[in-house]
Structure 1
Amino acid sequence: MNEYSSQASGQAAEALALRHLQQHGLRLLAQNWRCKVGELDLVMLDGTTVVFAEVRYRRHSAWGGAVESVDARKREKLARAASHFLQQQPRWAHAPCRFDVIAIDAMEPPRLNWIQNAFDT
């Protein structure tokens, strides 16, 4: 698989996840937010809760599925990036937060698994 098709698949998965979250009433605050310690795929607002949503897409499950790919190292990186986001966005600095994982496994149609409050920091 070349890098372009992998990137296109990731973008399509992220768009699918965003639509799904918006259909469930969440509002987009930021997409592909980057800082020196990492990237946040989707930062959403669920009522008054800031949701850091990690979108994981897997074409094959030979190395584990999309959910399993959010390991301890990835969770730590997400937590650090979320901390930077909150420091730079004073409006949300004291809001309740949670980390969700939207795992998308390649099927036809794609299977989306939205895990709310997937991990604590």
Structure 2
Amino acid sequence: MKGYSRSQLGQAGEDMAEAYLQEQGYEILARNFRTRHGEIDRIVRQGSTLVFVEVKTRRSLTHGTPTEAITVQKRQKLRQTALAYLQEHGGNGEILRFDVISILLQNAEPPKIEHLQNAF
């Protein structure tokens, strides 16, 4: 993914994560849900579980793993954004979960996708 801008890299990672989620049988409900608190990359359903998914994509491990980029402050913003989604769309008594999908795109290697369920 050399030559990609930061936003292009992020978008490519989100697209890969979405394809992965669909292959795993998740139903995509929302993409890039935004509020004044922040953004949730994907909101999906798996059976009776509503899942808020943060996608992190990196080109290398120089600055740590993609998952390590999710700080306490980022988790708080994700929670606030999820609450706004629930207020807007209703929760319907579903189980709620926050997942992280980390994608590592190094050189010509195939993408490395890791899915951490119940990340926080």
| TM-score > 0.5 by shorter chain | yes
Task: Kindly report which structure 2 residues correspond to 1:34-113, keeping only aligned pairs within 5 A, or say none.
Answer: 34-90=34-90, 92-107=91-106, 108-113=109-114
Residue 118 of structure 1 corresponds to 119
- Gapped runs of 5+ residues in structure 1? none
Deviations 1:3-29 (A, max 9, x none): x72111111110100010111110000
Partner letter of residue 43 of structure 1? I
Residue 17 of structure 1 corresponds to 17
1:117 partner SS = coil
CA-atom RMSD in angstroms: 1.2
Q: Percent identity?
A: 41
Question: Following the alignment from structure 2 to structure 1, what is the Cα–Cα distance between the partners of residues 72 and 37?
Answer: 15
Deviations 1:46-84 (A, max 9, x none): 101100000001112222110111121111110110011
- Gapped runs of 5+ residues in structure 2? none
Question: Following the alignment from structure 2 to structure 1, what is the Cα–Cα distance between the partners of residues 92 and 56?
Answer: 26
1:87, 1:93 within 8 Å by CA — same for their partners in 2?
A: no
Residue 6 of structure 2 corresponds to 6
